[in-house]
Chains A and B, each alone.
Chain A
Amino acid sequence: MSTINESRPADALRSGDHQAEAEASATKPLGGIAGWVDDRVGAAKGVSFLAKKVFPDHWSFMLGEIAMYSMIVCLLTGAFLTFWFVPSASQVVYDGSYVPLQGVTMSDAYRSTLAISFDIRGGLLIRQIHHWAALIFVVSVFVHMARVFFTGAFRKPREINWVFGTILSMLACIEGFAGYSLPDDLLSGTGIRAMNGFVQSVPVIGSYMSYFIFGGAFPGEAIIPRLYSAHVLLIPAILVGLFTAHILLVFVHKHTQFPAPGRTNNNVVGYPLLPVYIAKAGGFFFIVFGVIALISAVVTINPIWAYGPYDPSPITAGSQPDWYMGFADGALRLLPGFLEFVSWGNFTWSMNIFPGSILLLPIMWTIIGAYPFVEAWVTGDKREHHLLDRPRNAPTRTAIGIAGISMYTVLFFAAGNDLMAIKLHLSINDITQTLRVLFFVGPVVAFIVTKRICLSLQRADRQKVLHGRETGTIWRYADGRFEEIHAPLTAEERWVLVQHESPEPLALTAGKDANGVDSPIARKERLRAKFSHFYFRDRVAPATPSELEAAHHEHDHGGHVAAPAGEHEAIESGAGSERETIKADRHLD
């Protein structure tokens, strides 16, 4: 729908850019180290391509950057930690400088984590930075994901990258779980104990899996070194590999951009990598790293010395995993116990555990990963999309997203049901029951409310386009009426509100073949039409020029007793001749 007008200033900018490049290459020959490198790898071609690469600007595009940078901080500090951490469950007696635990038997993993915290100068800081960076990594991955979802950035040609991102976000959670389990403190050990229970709940092979994972009976001495190799080698290798592919695809596709004047589906408008993005994005790495370090300096995270070494017998109240595993923990708290049953053959089905602990993650991420393909099938849209949707302009998608988030949020809060009960002086049973109901009701309500809000916002956009924006200026007429003056939008302001498409539901064609029999294709199409109806049944079409014209017309010949034209002009003096066309709106319906 977006077309480029060849005579736009945008093109003028671009032609100037080519000149600048020609001048640059003529001015200074490549010599020294740069010449030496180029002789061997021909880097100059790539450098000029990269340096000119354009990135559009928007604050929400920084979310992915936060994820990228906090991951790098994790890799860096993680490498430091491996120098001192001993991934061993063999039992030793603590003789370090933390007095309360002296003489206590503990695993070497816990002892070395205490050493990092108390006996290695700056070690605590590195540990804290590592943990905070990990938490921020997972947060930013999820928020970035939400941004991509709600703006429709996952649409063709970026579906593959969405799938990569989906896998990355799941790996981030698993990597985090493996990481915080390593110190072998009471809290994380309890987490591993619960994980053992999860694994045992798997039908048929659960007990075997438990013995495989733990190398024998729980807890054994194998789990710490195994988690360690998963945490520092296996998962990071996949993470970094997928992340590299993720970034490369961003380069290949060029970044999406929000709709704005001059920005079309066929161009990308922004600043070049050199110098602006090097400075901004590079600088942003330092900002992210710096902020994480500042947080780590003043806010303690995971004070393992306060928990003590892992022992299966003691436990602390308020045992909870790191936040990103909260939703799974919450699911376990909500699943009622009666779901467990013993079938014929005396086999135990732990349906009070298995769905929440083992199935939830793959199911959730499969749904997320599959979403672009479902939506593409429903819309039948085979075009490339490089302009982002404003979330309100895709009401059903936005509502689906919010419904999913509300489901997640219910599970997340369920993981804190004990703390809510204590802090709010409520019955934990009531809280749990309420959340059980909310898990099913919440998403439905969230879907309906969100969709309505989106449609209302679209209507507000139409209103604004057709009748201008509210100025806050109240005009009193000679006959005593009061009215607010509306100022018309500029073409630039208007464009953002009218540029989008508003698809209509797919209409069914004849569903019978030549012999009057329902064809299987038609049946599939009928399902698709149903989905399409679900998606696009409620729609608010963007305002069109003829509607705007009609609105003007109506204003000029409105039913009200018109105020003298001169008064309006007086109010809008200085607004320019273009603005005089709409004047005040008298139809605040």
Chain B
Amino acid sequence: MNDNETTDTGAGSALAHGSGSGAVERHADAAADLFENPGLPPHVHRAADDDPAAAKRAERQVATLFGLSMLATLVFLVSYFAIPDEATFFFPGIGKAKTQNVVLGLSLGFAIFLIGIGAVHWAKTLMSDEEIVEERHVQASTAQERAKAVQVVATGVESTQMNRRPVLKYTLGGALGLFALPLGLQVAGSLGPVTVDELKHTIWDPKDNGGKPIRLMRDPEMTPIRLDEVTLGSVFHVMPETLQKYIDEGKHVLEAKAKAAVILIRLEPELIKVQKAKDWGVDGAVAYSKICTHVGCAVGLYEQQTHHLLCPCHQSTFDLTEDCAVIFGPAKRPLPQLKITVDDAGYLVAPQGFQEPVGPSFWERAR
């Protein structure tokens, strides 16, 4: 006999499929042909149920665990005062560790853990382990209970006269439907302010600098950069000169930085394949927005060998030689380039702001 039939009902004469003898009959009288629940197996006694010595041993073990817990608590209390804040030690396998954290943590951990182990051990050795059977009842109320509930509710609704005076029902519904609006409006209306156009603007715009070109400054030192300091292959994290005003005032520094961050890299001019990219740079030194066009992380990883810029958040990869076009990853658009030149004093400046919004896409971006 084949015990492994997989009954397939796909082909109409379903149940007969597969197994020769057994299957059809089996399903025909399936209701009767079932094994019977053999019932709870007899309770097996544990050592501590029968042997007083074993019970005594269990008692001692549990008491020891609780005792050790108390000891650990004591260690915590003493160490809290005894261990200086700055103390460190070498933790084997882990490294330099703050003594206070380790000792306080271990003592607290054991103080708590041992209570748990003790309680469970107590339950497993000494408390009754005879299983108890509780009957279940269907969740649904009986028909009478349901009928009674319906009647009670109906009587209650009836006494409100709601059905006889429908205008009350409709006005109440309207009032309840509307009353949340003021609350919602207050929250939604006041969470703002909303100035979506701001998303398209950075402080690289010369208008912010009295129309003068804006110097490229090292971040965070805020010192100007001379072209000859930008050696081949070097990377500069750059902020605009205009940021200084924000730093001095101590206001909106991060908001300004969040869009103005620029990365400045110098590579062999002939490597740059796009004429615009070459023209907007100086002698192979090019500046691009450092804000990823995917979701806005800083594109901070530069692979010198391949001239790729990599965003560490989601691995969008931009090719510097291709005007920072996306060559891999979830970003769609190239990093916007910032046009740079050299001013009379030999420092790098941006004569014009970004020509497109920097950072992640948004609904109105292309408008």
Residues in B with CB closer than 8 Å to A332 are 294-295, 314, 330
> Within the assembled complex, what's the spacing in Å between the Cα atoms of A193 and B291?
10
Select one of A267, A297, A554 contacting B101, CB under 8 A.
A297
**Least Cβ–Cβ distance between A313 and chain B, in angstroms:** 4
> Within the assembled complex, what's the spacing in Å between the Cα atoms of A112 and B313?
27
A537 and B8 contacting across the interface, CB-CB below 8 Å: yes
Q: Which of A334, A357, A544 gathers the greatest number of chain B CB atoms within 10 Å?
A: A544
> For residues 329 through 361 of chain B, which have their beta carbon under 8 Å from a beta carbon of chain A?
329-333, 359-361
User: Which size class do A's interface residues fall under?
Assistant: 35 or more
Binary CB contact string for chain B from 13 to 35 against chain A (1 if under 8 A, 0 otherwise): 01100000011011100100111
Q: Given A284-B120, A544-B33, A219 and B134 touching (CB < 8 A)?
A: no
Within 8 Å of chain A (Cβ to Cβ): is B71? Answer: no
Residues in A with CB closer than 8 Å to B158 are none
A157 and B332 contacting across the interface, CB-CB below 8 Å: no
Within 8 Å of chain A (Cβ to Cβ): is B181? Answer: no
Select one of A269, A467, A539 contacting B132, CB under 8 A.
A269
B115 and A337 contacting across the interface, CB-CB below 8 Å: no
Residues in A with CB closer than 8 Å to B316 are 337
Within 8 Å of chain B (Cβ to Cβ): is A286? Answer: yes
B255 and A8 contacting across the interface, CB-CB below 8 Å: no
B131 and A218 contacting across the interface, CB-CB below 8 Å: no
B239 and A283 contacting across the interface, CB-CB below 8 Å: no
B198 and A217 contacting across the interface, CB-CB below 8 Å: yes
B295 and A193 contacting across the interface, CB-CB below 8 Å: yes
Q: Which residue of B lies closest to A428 (CB)?
A: B315
A533 and B114 contacting across the interface, CB-CB below 8 Å: no
B132 and A270 contacting across the interface, CB-CB below 8 Å: yes
**Least Cβ–Cβ distance between A467 and chain B, in angstroms:** 8
A279 and B120 contacting across the interface, CB-CB below 8 Å: yes
Q: Which of B101, B132, B195 gathers the greatest number of chain A CB atoms within 10 Å?
A: B132
Within 8 Å of chain A (Cβ to Cβ): is B86? Answer: yes
**Least Cβ–Cβ distance between A527 and chain B, in angstroms:** 16
Residues in B with CB closer than 8 Å to A439 are none
Q: Which residue of B lies closest to A186 (CB)?
A: B298
Within 8 Å of chain B (Cβ to Cβ): is A290? Answer: yes
B116 and A286 contacting across the interface, CB-CB below 8 Å: yes
Within 8 Å of chain A (Cβ to Cβ): is B178? Answer: no
B3 and A466 contacting across the interface, CB-CB below 8 Å: yes
Residues in B with CB closer than 8 Å to A335 are 330
Residues in A with CB closer than 8 Å to B94 are 298-299
> Within the assembled complex, what's the spacing in Å between the Cα atoms of A219 and B33?
70
**Least Cβ–Cβ distance between A251 and chain B, in angstroms:** 12
A122 and B332 contacting across the interface, CB-CB below 8 Å: no
A207 and B112 contacting across the interface, CB-CB below 8 Å: no
Which of A39-47, A137-145, A339-347, A401-409 lies on the face that meets chain B? A339-347
A212 and B191 contacting across the interface, CB-CB below 8 Å: yes
Residues in B with CB closer than 8 Å to A589 are 2-3
> Within the assembled complex, what's the spacing in Å between the Cα atoms of A194 and B138?
50
Within 8 Å of chain A (Cβ to Cβ): is B177? Answer: no
B115 and A283 contacting across the interface, CB-CB below 8 Å: yes
A337 and B290 contacting across the interface, CB-CB below 8 Å: no
> For residues 47 through 69 of chain A, which have their beta carbon under 8 Å from a beta carbon of chain B?
52-54
Q: Give 5 nearest A-B pairs by CB, closest first.
A: A297-B105, A290-B113, A197-B295, A283-B119, A286-B116
* Additional pairs, 4, CB under 8 Å, beyond known A200-B362, A269-B133, A294-B109: A203-B363, A264-B37, A269-B131, A279-B127
Q: Residues on B close to A: CB < 8 A? A: 1-10, 14-15, 22-23, 25-27, 30, 33-42, 80, 85-86, 91, 94, 97-98, 100-106, 108-120, 122-124, 127-136, 138-139, 188, 191-196, 198-199, 219-220, 237, 239, 250, 252-255, 257-258, 261, 290-291, 294-298, 300-301, 312-317, 326, 328-333, 359-367
